[in-house]
Structure 1
Amino acid sequence: MAEAPVAKKVPAARTHHGDTFVDEYEWLRDKENPEVAAHLTAENAYTDAVTADQQPLRDAIFEEIKGRTQETDLSVPSRRDGWWYFSRTVEGQQYPIYCRVKAADASGAHGSPAGPGEDLAAWTPPAVVPGTPIEGEQVLLDGNAEAEGHPFFALGGAAVTRDGNLYAYSVDHSGDETFTLRVKDLRTGEHLPEVIENVFYGLEFDPEGSRLFYMVADESWRPYQVRVHVLGTPVDEDTVLYQEDDVAQWTGIDLSADRRWLLVGIGNSEYSETRMLKLTDPDAQLELLLGRDDRILHSAEPFEHEGRTRVLLMHNGRPAGPEGAAPNNMVSLVDPAEFAKPLVEQEWTALVAHDDSVKIEGADLTATHLIVSLRRDTIPTLRFAPLADAVRAAGAGTTPTFSEPEFGEELYTANGGASEYGAPLVRLSFTSYVTPPQVYDYVLATGELLLRKETPVLGGYRPADYVAERAWATADDGTRVPLSVLRRASVKQDGSNPALVYGYGSYEVSMDPGFAISRLSLLDRGLVFVVAHIRGGGELGRRWYEDGKKLHKRNTFTDFVAATDWLAASGWADPKRIACMGGSAGGLLIGAVLNLAPEKYAAAVAQVPFVDALTTILDPELPLSALEWEEWGNPIEDAEVYSYMKSYTPYENVHAAPYPKVAAVTSFNDTRVLYVEPAKWVQVLREATSSGQPILLKTEMDAGHGGASGRYEAWKDRAWDYAFIADALGARDLLP
């Protein structure tokens, strides 16, 4: 067996709250040091040598993914401002091609409501054939051409002017999630002369198409400036519409549904602030709607109804007001003039009341309907109500009547998609663990679901061959933790099967049911795949999240161990053939779980793992560190937080133990979780483990947080991870 690289030790002391930690591998943080690149290259060579015999398995899984995917395909066209927009993929090409074609009928465009009797045929997407251009089709952006000559390509954002003439888009060629912004004249195919470097996610045009709003990040990769570019003027004359100086706040921009207002959102996971700019008035100034001092977590949507401006407000209540606390959110209707009053004096009219068992996750509008996104029993879905009825109900102090589409499965995900404000229908997406993604148009007047597309799965896929079931584990404190258990229908409950437990459990992010072609390669090898919906996520509402953050973070890790224990005792898995996997904050989860119970796992894959969290959060100059204080606590100022984090952060808690096979997968240009964290972690794991199993580090040298760019490269990455798991569990062969 090849020798594992041994990094030199350069002791560096870190002292906080009277505690000193000596870090011998902190020198690996210096990205410009040639020794660092040489070490990572040596680690890759070692990983390649140790896993060389897995290459046939990787190739097989890659070909399975490729063989099940319709490579020449297209998205369902979405209508906007009299055009149908869609994307194509072509066999052999890595990236989508973004296209459009003129709509035959422009009714309902530019935000005007469609008539109640309007022919739905005008809103039926054109028949577009994969691989075949249609008459009048125009290419907006060919991702393959943009990527040519670059090791990486990602599209950060795109926007089209209301008249359809100009297309703004931003691209990243390194993986560090900073973008170059350009504007293309779609009438000529030529680019405008201005090029704006180092922009962040988020860009929008004003209604006239003369101003472009975009975001800029500071040196810690925190979006903090909203800038305005007037087309045709020098970039260095761009003005700052808003700047956020609080290092613990994140800033973003969006348009209201009717595109009359630019919304600037500032906040974190616990409270937020909204400012808005009336785009129809060129002399308008940015106005404060609801400030951070009110400590209300919210989203706001201004709109016009019957000649009057109102604000649709989704919020978590006013503890000092009539609503009280509403941790699972509620929806209110507010006159904009109310926001000028002291908070407790403002009149907010409830549209949707708080419910301890239902989490409201969004409130949106069309010209005719109110749309509420919600989560009930872990499952995300939507409800609809006529806007006029909702406004009348609010005025009468009653609750509007909502309709909800039905999909006929227990574990599924239903979300709303982009829709034209004046359209008589709303685009929906539906998927489950066994049902490939489906695209529907929901007819607002009748509730009818019109199936527009079901993602094809080639190779004779049959949903009936697979099973997805709900199970519950019991945590140490008696809390019931929901699990999603996936398997081939032919797998027996005889205690002999290999299994993989997957989790995340941070930032109120939920692991929602969804179909994955790549996952079939594990299920077809007999693996039982368990998604652990652990505390720290949002699956069971706001309290589920709060019980897994800050000084309750250890619940996230012990919930995952409880899920593993359930699996080991369930009869679905051989206790000696269980692996675990997670990425980013889920990588922190894997690191913490391996310290808690290394003997319970045969293998682990930690993807871009946040395993040196305390070191990172103690340095506010590092990317996103200050923003993390609302999730983990502030260990700089709070000794209790420091002590608590030190008790679980993976890097500092590695100890002599029989650690399983471990693969840490990272990217050199990742700005969210720096490569140095897994690079250091791997070194101390090797020193501590007594199992003799390999501890591997795999670094993509031309990639970011999401791994290598391009769909084929992404499939290869997934095949690598799954082959590592399947090989470790003795599950290389497909079931008969």
Structure 2
Amino acid sequence: MKALKPIALSALSLLVLSACNNTQNNNKTDIAAPIAKKVPFEMTHHGNTRVDNYYWMRDDERKDPEILAHLEAENSYTEQKLKHTEALQAQLFDEIKGRIVKDDQSVPVKQGDYFYGSEVSGDNEYSVYTRAKDLAGTDKQVLLDVNELAKAHDYFSVSTLTVSENDNLLAYGEDTLSRRIYTIRIKDLTTGEYLKDKIEGTSGNIVWGNDNTFLYYIKKDPQTLLGYQVYRHVLGTDQSSDELVYEEKNKAYYTYISKSKDSSLVYIHHSSTEARGVSIIDANDAKAKPTRFIPREDKHEYSIAKLNNDFYITTNLDAVNFRLMKVDASKVGDKAHWQEVIPARDNVKLEDITLFDNHLVYQERENGLTNVTVRKLDSGKEFNLDFKDTAFAAGMYGNNELDNASVRLYYTSMTTPSSVIEYALEDGKKTVLKEQKVLGDFNSDNYVSERIMVTARDGKKVPVSLVYHKDKFKKDGTNPLYQYGYGSYGATFDPTFSTSRLSLLDRGFVYAIAHIRGSQMLGRPWYEDGKKLTKKNTFNDFVDVTKALVEQGYGAKDKVFAVGGSAGGLLMGAVINQAPELYRGVASHVPFVDVVTTMLDESIPLTTNEYDEWGNPNEKAYYDYMLSYSPYDQVKRQAYPNLLVTTGLHDSQVQYFEPMKWVAKLREYKTNDNLLLFKTDMEAGHGGASGRFKRINDTALEYAFFIDLLEQ
């Protein structure tokens, strides 16, 4: 790798404004865009030399005045170009906020002797965490008021709250920078005072030892931000004396910790894209060492759950879509003794299980739809839980106790606000514990949801979830279309309800989720066919869905908008390089767009963990393939859609300089005068602003950007 001599330019010269073909003429403010300086930087791999003129934009310290000045200039430009939409943004903000119940509380979850929950009130941005003796809230105690903790910070986030086995101590992590590096604090719930213990540089993941005198946490590498070391901390001691009990040497693995349902074991989870495993520690022993559940193997993914003296193992061993096995604790290491509980099926993916004293509940996905089954362990008798919608999202949560008489799930669809439901394990009797309230004139009967299959260019059938207002939609190709996609890491975005989305539907938008390859909507093979050397299927699917929806009359060909974030931002970048003419506007949030350069740099957070997702470009085959679709590398001289790009300066997953460079290069290459707007939240990271109402500003900005384009 060879860097050419940088051109010495002042911060002022960085902000040179050009009124040539980068001037935007299709909006209310005639102001020129910030034009970044070019400093050629050569990178040579596998005999191929790339010149990156904007490599200089990287500053890991985030202190370079020239870079910060350029980001501020972009923010100012975006603000000016959208100034005429401020009233619309405010209207959208008020609409969305006006549907949200200000005084609300979660359904408490039982853990030990208490029911734990959270509540929000008034205009408070953050939750107040509580516990009570029963579900009704008897003797409610406030554990943590995050509003008070956040007062002195522009950004504030707490990790999962974890209470000691004797119910007296609360441990949690706090992040004030949005880098997902947490400082653990410990509060005495009997006195309300904080212990002197302060544990820095962690993932925020905490597990208590059973005698309440020690806890486990994960230390993060400050450069790569990988959580890779598990420490044991004894209360009352300095962090410097904490004992390292496990260190992950393989940078392809993420590390996190949890506890068995019976509290007897601490689990250390080892998770990479193509392999998963577990080590276990005796939670009763303050000097215990971890042992592998079974030796780690390439391509073997498994997780475990303990019931009495048996382990239940969800595994892909000889099962592409996973199966469930069972083994006595004394015979764990011998796979010959593993007994099949739920067999593998080619077209059905086993997604989740939870165990109770006398029941097994398991969740599967078939043809993209969720099934939940309850099995009685002593007789093997089963029944399926009943859901009302044809396309929906459902999942188990909060089932922390083995002796529960019911299983709890959340449930939602694109026309049905979320509900918390319990089903009796003996007979399936349903009890709705809470239904999400939507304020205003919302009526679910006004909206229609569909699930269709679109034929991609290679013949594969791609599921698409659609929702629209029944009185504002005509299947005649006149409605604006908002198409969302992600398609990476096997993440499946189910058809869920959104109160903010109503602001689009009520204005005549059709909202579509393209369940493209790279997700697991159609099982594990659907994921495998959209990563590494098949990654382009993800992009092709999205484009083909757009074409089909327009052809079938769901959207007007000149009113199509596309949205994606993070790896979905990569999707947006690839799509607009391939078929820019299909989209009137695109929003790309925290986009991962500089694929080749990032994946070649092991110092960048998370890079080495991603080799099994994208491939390792140190190998020529992967380098060539990545280069052929990398959005930053494939920017070309052509007309691009109107673009809104957003990021956070402190993003720990996709570094701010990726979208910054991408926008600069797009400004250089694009041949039309469509809008290209770039907004950086100077306080936030990958997840955006903290606070339940602050986040609405981002949504209102995106919606206003699209709606305004329709009016031009």
Residues 495 and 513 in structure 2, CA contact (< 8 A), matched pair in contact too? no
Residues 233 and 242 in structure 2, CA contact (< 8 A), matched pair in contact too? yes
Q: How does 1:450-599 map to 2 (within 5 A)?
A: 450-490=431-471, 491-599=473-581
CA distance in 1, matches of 2:181, 2:129: 21
CA distance in 2, matches of 1:719, 1:201: 31
- Answering whether residue 232 of structure 2 is matched by residue 228 of structure 1, we say yes
Q: 1:686 aligns with which of 653, 662, 667?
A: 667
- Answering whether residue 27 of structure 2 is matched by residue 15 of structure 1, we say no
Letter in 1 for 2:550: A
Q: How does 1:227-266 map to 2 (within 5 A)?
A: 227-266=231-270
Letter in 1 for 2:323: M
Structure 1 match to 2:384: 404
CA positional deviation for 1:284:
3.8
Residues 566 and 589 in structure 2, CA contact (< 8 A), matched pair in contact too? yes
CA distance in 2, matches of 1:720, 1:382: 38
CA distance in 1, matches of 2:373, 2:211: 33
Letter in 1 for 2:695: A
Structure 1 match to 2:9: none
CA distance in 2, matches of 1:211, 1:388: 38
Structure 1 match to 2:313: 313
CA distance in 2, matches of 1:209, 1:383: 37
CA positional deviation for 1:367:
2.2
Residues 316 and 328 in structure 1, CA contact (< 8 A), matched pair in contact too? yes
Residues 273 and 609 in structure 2, CA contact (< 8 A), matched pair in contact too? no
TM-score under structure 2 length normalisation: 0.93
Tell me the C-alpha RMSD between the 2 structures.
1.3
Structure 2 match to 1:302: 306
- Answering whether residue 656 of structure 2 is matched by residue 672 of structure 1, we say no
The superposition leaves residues 616-645 of structure 1 with CA deviations (integer Å, 9 ceiling, x where unpaired) of 111011000000101000001x10100000
Q: 1:137 aligns with which of 140, 143, 158?
A: 140
Letter in 2 for 1:79: K
CA distance in 2, matches of 1:526, 1:201: 43
- Answering whether residue 312 of structure 2 is matched by residue 329 of structure 1, we say no
Q: Which stretch shifts more, 519-528 or 227-236?
A: 227-236
Q: 1:478 to 1:372 in 2, by over 3 A?
A: same
Q: How does 1:386-397 map to 2 (within 5 A)?
A: 386-389=376-379
- Answering whether residue 370 of structure 2 is matched by residue 377 of structure 1, we say no
SS in 1 for 2:293: strand
The superposition leaves residues 493-542 of structure 1 with CA deviations (integer Å, 9 ceiling, x where unpaired) of 12111111110000000011111100000111101111100000110000
Q: How does 1:628-643 map to 2 (within 5 A)?
A: 628-636=610-618, 638-643=619-624
Residues 539 and 574 in structure 2, CA contact (< 8 A), matched pair in contact too? yes
CA distance in 2, matches of 1:83, 1:302: 22
SS in 1 for 2:659: helix
The superposition leaves residues 37-58 of structure 1 with CA deviations (integer Å, 9 ceiling, x where unpaired) of 0000000000001111111111
CA positional deviation for 1:214:
0.8
Q: 2:393 aligns with which of 405, 413, 435?
A: 413
Q: 1:161 aligns with which of 159, 164, 182?
A: 164
Letter in 1 for 2:195: L
CA positional deviation for 1:293:
2.8
Structure 2 match to 1:395: none
Letter in 2 for 1:45: S
Letter in 1 for 2:290: L
Q: 1:69 aligns with which of 87, 100, 111?
A: 100
Letter in 1 for 2:530: G
CA positional deviation for 1:231:
1.2
Structure 2 match to 1:396: none
Q: 1:291 aligns with which of 289, 292, 295?
A: 295
Residues 75 and 680 in structure 2, CA contact (< 8 A), matched pair in contact too? yes
Runs of 4+ in 1 over 6 A off after TM superposition: none
Letter in 2 for 1:10: V
Q: 1:359 aligns with which of 349, 352, 362?
A: 349
CA positional deviation for 1:146:
1.0
- Answering whether residue 64 of structure 2 is matched by residue 33 of structure 1, we say yes
Structure 1 match to 2:22: none
Structure 2 match to 1:347: 337
Letter in 2 for 1:334: V
CA positional deviation for 1:180:
0.9
Q: How does 1:681-720 map to 2 (within 5 A)?
A: 681-720=662-701
Fraction of identical pairs, as percent: 39
The superposition leaves residues 189-217 of structure 1 with CA deviations (integer Å, 9 ceiling, x where unpaired) of 00001111111041111222121111111
CA positional deviation for 1:303:
2.5
Q: 1:98 aligns with which of 114, 119, 129?
A: 129
CA positional deviation for 1:263:
0.8
CA positional deviation for 1:294:
5.8
Letter in 1 for 2:512: V
CA positional deviation for 1:183:
0.5
- Answering whether residue 191 of structure 2 is matched by residue 188 of structure 1, we say yes
Q: 1:257 to 1:387 in 2, by over 3 A?
A: farther
CA distance in 2, matches of 1:381, 1:146: 41
Residues 266 and 274 in structure 1, CA contact (< 8 A), matched pair in contact too? yes
The superposition leaves residues 544-589 of structure 1 with CA deviations (integer Å, 9 ceiling, x where unpaired) of 0000000000000000000000111011211011010000000000
Q: How does 1:261-280 map to 2 (within 5 A)?
A: 261-280=265-284
CA positional deviation for 1:723:
1.2
CA positional deviation for 1:339:
3.6
Q: 1:382 to 1:349 in 2, by over 3 A?
A: same
Residues 214 and 286 in structure 2, CA contact (< 8 A), matched pair in contact too? no
CA positional deviation for 1:302:
2.5
SS in 1 for 2:538: helix
The superposition leaves residues 302-347 of structure 1 with CA deviations (integer Å, 9 ceiling, x where unpaired) of 231xxxx111000001xxxxxxx21100000012333444x5xx32
Residues 516 and 542 in structure 2, CA contact (< 8 A), matched pair in contact too? yes
Structure 1 match to 2:632: 651
Letter in 2 for 1:349: Q
CA distance in 2, matches of 1:294, 1:268: 10
Matched residues, number: 678
Residues 257 and 364 in structure 1, CA contact (< 8 A), matched pair in contact too? no
CA distance in 2, matches of 1:360, 1:29: 42
Structure 2 match to 1:734: none
CA distance in 1, matches of 2:41, 2:332: 51
Structure 2 portions without partners, runs of 5+: 1-29
SS in 1 for 2:495: coil
Letter in 2 for 1:529: Y
CA distance in 1, matches of 2:375, 2:285: 31
CA distance in 2, matches of 1:641, 1:679: 25
SS in 2 for 1:630: helix
The superposition leaves residues 252-276 of structure 1 with CA deviations (integer Å, 9 ceiling, x where unpaired) of 1111121211111113121122111
The superposition leaves residues 195-252 of structure 1 with CA deviations (integer Å, 9 ceiling, x where unpaired) of 1111104111122212111111112011101111111222211111110011111111
CA distance in 2, matches of 1:591, 1:349: 47
The superposition leaves residues 372-391 of structure 1 with CA deviations (integer Å, 9 ceiling, x where unpaired) of 122122123422212334xx
